[in-house]
Amino acid sequence: MKVLKFGGTSMANAGCIKRVKEIVLSDPDAGYVVVSAPGKREAGDAKVTDLLYAAFRAVKAGQAAADAFLPVRTRFDDIVGGLGLKMDLSAEYDGIIERLDRGTTADYIASRGEYLSAKVMAAALGWTFCDTKELIRFDDAGRFMAEETDVLMKKALCGRTRLVLPGFYGADEAGEIRTFSRGGSDVSGAIVARAVLADMYENWTDVDGFLMCDPRIVEDPELIGMITYKELRELSYMGANVLHPESIFPVRKNDIPINIRNTFNPAAPGTLIVPTKKFFKGEFTRRDSTVTGIAGKKDFFAIFIEKSMMNNELGFARRVLSAIENKGLSIEHMPTGVDTLSIVIDGTGVEPETVEDILAEIVKTCRPDVIDIVRDIALIAVVGHGMLRKKGTAAKVCSCLYRADVNIRMIDQGSSELNIIIGVDNADYEKAIACLYREFI
Ligand code: ASP
């Protein structure tokens, strides 16, 4: 039994939804469908979720709720008309307009894209709509509650198939709608797959699968046929964004593979994401290479601290980390030497004053000999199980970057020997990725 999740571009208009319908109805193993809200129909178009957030803001700023909601209503009316469905969504629209008018949460309004999308999909397939409001549980602070959700979901779905569920949201214990972060329908699909112990979680999107690196940097990079959860987690955390990075956690519990497929090229086998290396055989091929993929992100900053005999000073690292934690920031990497400590932090949205405060606090509590900050650092992850116990991978990384005239600011090998993280100047980011790709792939 499979769970099939369709993303925003697969649900963008009636034509796309007809393709989705064909994919689902031609697969005898398809048991559950999870959908996103309709996405962009072409470049420059708006996603329904963005239209909903905009409507929420417009009403707050004084616009009439019915007017603010009109662009969403038009999108769904076009879809229903284009599919030739005899369904009337006006009572649903009125309910949403009323909630907009009365004052509600942004999460509630944003969730209506997936809600209406699932209603339409259920009607198109002739399947049953099943609301995730009752099945996906968040706590009062909006944190997803995995185990409570699994119990609720298992109970509700047990013995039932041919269900369509909206992605992206659930509700807290008070019954208020809560959403995942953007792109969260991927997580909903994974939660359903875990609950029904699916044989496969198919995640249908608009690309053939995971590429070995960013196609905006390297022309036509190779596709990854098979990748493990851990490799994928490293790559998607570092910016490879085909799948929401949190989608792995629910399916990991039961070793359920995820298959990334392309709604617009259903013949392509896509990328298979498997629990461990043991799965590297059979229908999908695994390229025999040291490196599975390369990904990265710009705009980190690093704090370099030096103090003689630092290693003997009890609580030194703790005091440094507290200064960062007190400002609500988390750290990405922490390469150390005998008398040196470097901390790499994601600088996106961090105010310069916050950084100054952190430095002042470290000076006060740790009295370092030297403290310095380097901004505009890009981190690049070279990821692959193939590098496990293989000699010379780090040497290859360094020599190829040296030949490309890229200065390495930092290098850190994960303890799992699954990845090597390299810090370079933002300005060298693209050059570094391109030369690493040529070296390894
Ligand atoms: N519709 C939501 C978004 O645009 C969630 C999703 O599509 O996964 O982020």
Nearby residues of 286 by Cβ (< 8 Å), 6 or more positions away: 225, 226, 280
Give tens-digit pLDDT for 90-146: 999 999 999 999 999 999 999 999 999 999 999 999 999 999 999 999 999 999 999
Task: Kindly report the length of the chain.
Answer: 441
Provide the pLDDT for residue 286. 65
Q: In the predicted model, what is the mean pLDDT of residues 170-174?
A: 96
Single-letter code of the amino acid located at 202: E
Identify the pLDDT of residue 128. 98
CA of 48 to the centre of ligand 1 (A): 9
Q: Which residues sit with their C-beta closer than 6 Å to ligand 1?
A: 8, 36-37, 47, 49, 113, 167-168, 182-186
Q: Based on the fold, state whether residues 345 and 251 are members of the same structural domain.
A: no
Q: Are residues 250 and 315 in the same domain?
A: no
* Mean pLDDT to the nearest integer, 6-16: 98
In a domain, 145, yes or no: yes
| Residue 390 placed within a domain | yes
Angstrom distance (rounded) from CA 237 to CA 193: 22
How far, in Å, is the centroid of ligand 1 from the Cα of 26? 26
Average per-residue pLDDT for the chain: 93
Q: What is the model's pLDDT at position 414?
A: 73
Same domain? 249 vs 336 = no
Note whether 251 and 297 are same-domain residues: no
Is the model's pLDDT at 416 over the cut of 90?
no
**Rounded mean pLDDT, 413-436:** 90
Domain of 95, CATH number, reads: 3.40.1160.10
Q: pLDDT of 184-207, one tens digit each?
A: 999 999 999 999 999 999 999 999
**Confidence band of 157 (pLDDT split at 50, 70, 90):** very high
Evaluate whether 254 touches 146 at the Cβ level (below 8 Å).
Answer: no
Whether 373 shows a pLDDT value over 90: the answer reads yes
Q: Would you state the structure tokens that stand for residue 331, as one six-digit string?
A: 């750290």
* Residue 187 Cα to ligand 1 middle (Å): 10
Which residues does 417 contact at the CB level (< 8 Å), separation at least 6?
387, 388, 389
Q: Which DSSP string do the residues of 33-67 spell out, in sequence order?
A: EEEPPP--SSTT---HHHHHHHHHHHHHTT--HHH
The answer on pLDDT for 253 being more than 80 is: yes
CATH code for position 364: 3.30.2130.10
Is there a single domain that holds both residue 311 and residue 434? yes
What is the four-CA torsion angle of 388, 394, 400, 405, rounded to 10 degrees?
Answer: 150
- Please write the tens of the pLDDT for every residue from 382-400: 999 878 767 888 889 999 9
Single out the residue of 176, 169, 59, 46 nearest to residue 110, CA to CA: 169
* pLDDT tens profile 299-340: 999 999 999 998 888 999 999 999 999 999 999 888 888 899
What is the helix (H) or strand (E) element at residue 434, kind and residue range?
helix 429-440
Starting at the edge strand found earlier in the chain, the sheet holding 200-205 runs 128-129, 163-166, 30-35, 2-6, 200-205, 258-262, 271-274, 226-228
Cα(297) to centroid of ligand 1, in Å? 22
What is the span of the domain harbouring residue 195? 2-207+242-256
pLDDT value at residue 283: 60
Residues 52 and 124 in one domain: yes
- The whole-angstrom distance between residue 254's C-alpha and the CA centroid of its chain comes to 20
**Nearest-atom index, ligand 1, CA of 47:** 4
For residue 1, give the amino acid letter.
M
Q: Are residues 10 and 58 in the same domain?
A: yes
In the predicted structure, residue 259 carries a pLDDT above the cut 80? yes
Residue holding tokens 């209503």? 73
185, 203, 263: residue to mutate for ligand 1 pocket, most atoms within 8 A of CB: 185
